[in-house]
Amino acid sequence: MDRQAAGSIAGSGGTAAYIEKFLASFESGRRALISGDADAAEKDLLKARSSWPEYFDTDFLLALTYERLGKQGKAAAFYKSYLNKLKSYYSGSYRISGPIIYNISDSAMLSYDEAYRLISARLAMSGIDLDRVRPAASMPISFVPAGIIALLCAIYMLLRYLVAPEIRKRQRVKNPPEGFWVCARCGEENPVPALECQRCGRRRSG
């Protein structure tokens, strides 16, 4: 995430600090989990969760993190928390952050029923009954300072205009139009016979 862009959108003061805290922690935690450093992922993702409790993807990543750490009970609690928040999202309970979450999420986001089915089956493999699991505790959104509205709006702007385009580009790289390949660096469509990108000169991979 571009911290300079975060500062230019959010301005200075407390709101900018909130944005820095969430985005830096979430991205750092996600990268740590991908790289296999579950201890670092746990620390960063818990920080991100405290900054924006409603963002359910953080709970899902924490569940995966605790699985990596061998703490299946905690993983189950965060899976349950993820499902509860996902259900609240689909029911329209997140009146402020719901539209923001919608716009920054990709089209592959699971429905509540599908997510419940998959997670329930996953936990059952470890002998855990999802219906008997208590969700991980979190701060009620009503106790979040009023500046959360400005925070969420700024997060939306950052993720929509910086992260979402990158996600779309990666999807195009994986699923190019017939007869073309898409450059992973600049997103340019190139005819299959071409070995280098006609825009940036990057050699075709794969």
Tens of each residue's pLDDT in the chain, 206 residues: 333 433 443 444 444 566 567 778 888 999 999 999 999 999 999 988 988 888 899 999 999 999 999 999 999 999 999 999 999 999 998 887 777 777 666 656 889 999 999 999 999 999 999 999 999 987 554 444 545 655 666 676 666 666 667 677 778 788 888 888 998 888 888 888 888 988 898 888 76
Domain range for 197: 176-206
**Any domain includes 168:** no
In a shared domain, residues 191 and 120: no
180 and 153 co-located in one domain: no
Number of domains in the chain: 2
Note whether 116 and 182 are same-domain residues: no
Q: Residue 98 falls within a domain, yes or no? A: yes
Decide if 99 is inside a domain.
yes
Residues 105 and 182 placed together within one structural domain of the fold? no
| Residues 128 and 76: beta-carbon distance below 8 Å | yes
Q: How many CB atoms lie within 10 A of CB 17?
A: 14
Write out the two tokens for 72: 């299946």
Residues 94 and 29 in one domain: yes
- Based on the domain organization, do 138 and 193 belong to the same domain? no
